Structure 1
Amino acid sequence: MSQPLNIAFLGLGVMGGAIARHIAQAGHHLTVYNRSMGRIERWQQANPGVPIRIAESPADAATGADAVLTCVGNDDDLADVVLGPMGVFTTLRRGAVFIDHTTVSARIARQIAVEARDLEVHCVDAPVTGGQAGAEKGQLTVMCGGRADAVEAAQPIMASYTKRIVHVGKAGAGQTCKMVNQIAFAGIIASLSEALRFAQSAHLDLDKVYEAISGGAAQSWQMDNRWHTMARDEFDFGFAVDWMRKDLGLTLDEGRSIGVSLPVAAQIDQIYAQVQAIGGGRQDTSALVRVLPRKGKA
């Protein structure tokens, strides 16, 4: 980093809070905004001694900022904090950088990019993958959509919390790439859940099964990080089922808009609806295994 920047961060959730911490630790001047003041207070308690300015609104956060980053809930949340009457774009200066790390529709990403172009703001839709652990360790992968000059301007900021930054295409392409990720991710979780239930029903030693298959073609991040916790019925961590259903909903909508059938993703989405129905909405996506029958279980 050549010099500290004035950076505003909106949305101090599980992912956003960790990203904001890395930005502050990189030496930037950090302003934060969150609709819930309690979340800001918890962030301060978890990061004692980190200097921040607390903004009263998204517009206040963007005032004087060199860059604004968002990591909020959904399309409506993003539209409100960026395009609303007290949104970021009412005060963000010409030549500043706007980076959105929310997983949203490609449509809203493209809409924001058009508004940013008219304001002469560098705009990047930049959903991430790597989960809570990746955010905490500063090892996220970012898939970026936008103009090349915008991604170039954003890279020095994102470098403090990422291991890989990939410019995948024009505005909205980052979000579409995240949908590709979620299709593959959902399929891996579903097949891993079936494999685990099969092994349990066959009365195999699950540790030995993992040792045997994790070094070959079946190996995946999900297997390495979730096989043992799934075997112990531990799910109170990680990427929530509720958020996965939101992402799959966006993906299925985009598939319909471009004329692509996604039968496997649609089926897995419905299995996740069953997980929600038994109270697992806030549990990790690996909780999908909860609704698969286990032969011989009391």
Structure 2
Amino acid sequence: MAKVAFLGLGVMGYPMAGHLKTKGGHDVTVYNRTPAKAEKWAAEFGGTAKATPKEAAEGADFVLSCVGNDDDLRSVVLGEQGAFAGMSSGAIFVDHTTASADVARELYATGQEIGVSFIDAPVSGGQAGAENGVLTVMCGGDDGAYAKAEPVIAAFARSCKLMGGSGAGQLTKMVNQICIAGLLQGLSEGMNFGMKAGLDMGKVIDVISKGAAGSWQMENRGGTMCDGKFDFGFAVDWMRKDLGICLSEAKNNGARLPVTSLIDQFYAQVQGRGGNRWDTSSLVHLLAND
């Protein structure tokens, strides 16, 4: 059992922190920007809620976070009330936010100055993966810190791997999002084509999902795409944030992302239709309702 703090209790962080308590058996203290949610979590899981990241991090062996973006991450880590101000030398900070590789390296370097290890550890698996404790976690950081953190992360992870030095976790998550974006556009075109052709799409999905075209997205989103249902899952706003990170990083490393750039603009069109909180499979809406 470890003393763990968790910062950020959104749709991902809330259940992740819960698994740390129930499955991991850790002593968990939480912080959330909206105090009522932290109090609710504490009442539900029997942990402790604190008013600031610093207070939550004091005395913790591990501090985990899952917030919105680079600026949100800096706000809970840095400053007089940030987690770093409350952490002891030798403690480990594990960030599960999907953020830039730059902010990961920045906070890693700052942590080194005060004797705190920083691991960038974005996740894949969505809300369902967080609730069921089967997330995939891709990490960047030092070997020693990762070896200590991995058993803690295991409370909500199906797979966890160190991908390289600081920033490597975030870069791996960018690969993940690039692949998903292209896959969803192809799936959208395929589902729309099949519907226009008058096929029974339930049968189509059942058959082709067993072959080379099969994917998690097809099995879990193919049917709902055909039904025009998008009120669940990973929101378009979040995907656009992630793709923006990918496109920015591509400018730095020289990678060409022509399809990703195009799909990002398709998602902008979905936002224009009021689909900001629709699931990312809503790309098909642009084709089925042109």
TM-score, normalised with respect to structure 2: 0.97
Q: Which residue of 2 aligns with 1:11?
A: 8
User: Displacement, 1:114?
Assistant: 0.4
Q: Which residue of 2 aligns with 1:210?
A: 205
* C-alpha contact 1:271 1:288 (8 A) present in aligned 2: yes
User: Displacement, 1:122?
Assistant: 2.2
Identify the range of structure 1 (171-180 vs 35-44) with the bigger mean alpha-carbon deviation.
Answer: 35-44
* C-alpha contact 1:200 1:294 (8 A) present in aligned 2: no
SS at structure 2 position matched to 1:219? coil
* C-alpha contact 1:197 1:294 (8 A) present in aligned 2: no
* C-alpha contact 1:126 1:145 (8 A) present in aligned 2: yes
* Aligned structure 1 segments of 4 or more residues deviating by more than 3 angstroms: 41-45
SS at structure 2 position matched to 1:27? coil
User: Displacement, 1:42?
Assistant: 4.8
Q: Which residue of 1 aligns with 2:73?
A: 78
Q: Which residue of 2 aligns with 1:258?
A: 253
Q: Which residue of 2 aligns with 1:117?
A: 112
**2:235 aligned to 229, 234, 240, which one?**
240
Q: Which residue of 2 aligns with 1:34?
A: 32
Q: Which residue of 2 aligns with 1:161?
A: 156
| Structure 2 residue runs without a partner (length 5+) | none
User: Displacement, 1:41?
Assistant: 4.6
Q: Which residue of 2 aligns with 1:53?
A: 48
Q: Percent identity?
A: 52
The answer on 1:195 being equivalent to 2:193 is: no
* C-alpha contact 2:57 2:87 (8 A) present in aligned 1: yes
* C-alpha contact 2:239 2:280 (8 A) present in aligned 1: yes
1:169-208 CA-partner distances (Å, limit 9, x unpaired): 1000100000000000101111000000000100111111
Over aligned residue pairs, what C-alpha RMSD do you find? 1.2
Distance 1:166 1:62 in 2: 25
Distance 2:201 2:65 in 1: 41
- Aligned letter for 1:11? G
- Aligned letter for 2:127? Q
TM-score, normalised with respect to structure 1: 0.94
* C-alpha contact 1:122 1:153 (8 A) present in aligned 2: no
User: Displacement, 1:231?
Assistant: 1.3
User: Displacement, 1:294?
Assistant: 5.6
The answer on 1:20 being equivalent to 2:21 is: no
How many corresponding residue pairs? 289
SS at structure 2 position matched to 1:143? strand
User: Displacement, 1:84?
Assistant: 2.2
